[in-house]
Amino acid sequence: MNPRSRLSAPLLALLLISCARPGPLPPAAAPAIAQAPEALLAGTHLAVAYSGYREGQHPDQGQGAVYPTADQIREDLDILEREGFGLIRLYDSGELSRRVLDVIVADGRPVRVMLGAWLQAEVSNHEGCAWLTEPIPDAELAANTVANGEEVARLITLAKAYPETIVAVNVGNEALVSWGDHMVRTDAMVAYLRQVRDAVDQPVSTADNYVVWAEQGQVLASVVDFALVHTYPQWEEKTLEEAMPYTLDNLGRVHAAVPTLPIVIGEAGWATVASEFGDRASEEAQRRYVSDLAAWAAQAQVTTFVFRGL
């Protein structure tokens, strides 16, 4: 959900080390979905959405990129491995993702990756997106479509080059939601997914909000191998007490729409500091929600990627 950004590993570790280990499962969070262990990605219940950019670092925003060094990536991965995280999510197939993959392979690390292709807007959603104040020019949309094709090609290339490290791939991140600023038409998404699925051996999906999967899941089901779902009860004004039941309701809606697809939670989390959430945002609330979610994921056999909590 925008605006949100991925968290670099050092801060992520500080936020999650104390809260990521499963505790007793609360009665309200009994598994409503029970999957076979084979539904897990890399046999993992709890995983991390990883970026790696530090202060002063950034992707190319028109004036060149500043990437983390190989040693900084190693420092991040050391932290994650030490705390038991062996599966990470990378959101695009650009230079930073290639560097992360190179470090993992060069070091012989057991870390596994779900690799994404980041899709830019091919539709101007200025009427549906609150922070798009004017239409995206047609020329920009056309250029984005070309860039998306190139990004999908990079995803395929990396998936083939790192077949042991990359355990799954996803095309697009919240590109189908009604409120997003980088919207792609459903038919275009289906075409991208079919292209990738025909080209790689890894399981394929697209990452999106639970509403998209509940409403469009049947269209997507024929070109994906699992449903990659985002769920954020805090963003939908739920209290901590309501959070796990609401999360399970989200997933139940997805399961009802695509009952034959395994479910993976592509993003979930709880903010610790944010003006939008008032006193619902705190480290203790994050610790409890992530702990409850981790306990449920372990029982239900659902791989869950934790997103930043800020």
Lowest-confidence segment of 89-93, 239-243, 306-310 by average pLDDT: 306-310
Closest CA to 28 of 279, 256, 307, 289: 289
Percent of the residues in the chain that have a pLDDT greater than 70, as a whole number? 89
Nearest one of 55, 46, 116, 36 to 294, comparing CA atoms: 46
Q: Which of 32-36, 95-99, 145-149, 251-255 has the lowest mean pLDDT?
A: 32-36
Comparison of pLDDT for 127 and 273, the residue scoring more: 127
Q: Is 201 in a helix, a strand, or coil?
A: coil
Residue 310 pLDDT level (bands cut at 50, 70, 90)? very low
pLDDT tens per residue, range 102-154: 999 999 999 999 999 999 999 999 999 999 999 999 999 999 999 999 999 99
In the three-class reduction of DSSP (H, G, I as helix; E, B as strand; rest coil), residue 61 is classed as coil
- Quote the pLDDT of residue 246: 95
**Environment class of residue 48 by beta-carbon count within 10 Å: exposed (0-12), middle (13-18) or buried (19+)?**
buried
Q: What is the mean pLDDT of residues 228-251?
A: 94
pLDDT digits (tens, 9 = 90+) for 158-200: 999 999 999 999 999 999 999 999 999 999 999 999 999 999 9
Domain ranges of the chain: 9-306
Per-residue model confidence (pLDDT) at position 278? 82
Q: 308 pLDDT band (50/70/90 cuts)?
A: low
Confidence of residue 60 (pLDDT cuts 50, 70, 90): confident
Domain 9-306 class in CATH: alpha beta
Looking at residue 279, its pLDDT comes to 83
3-class state of residue 9 by DSSP: helix
Q: Is the pLDDT of residue 12 over 70?
A: no
Q: What's the whole-number mean pLDDT along residues 228-244?
A: 93
- What is the pLDDT at residue 32? 66
d(CA 230, CA 247): 10
Of the candidate ranges 9-13, 57-61, 175-179, 250-254, the one whose mean pLDDT is the lowest: 9-13
Q: Which range among 2-11, 96-105, 184-193 shows the weakest confidence by mean pLDDT?
A: 2-11
> Does the pTM of the predicted model rise above 0.85?
yes
Query: How long, in residues, is the chain?
Result: 310
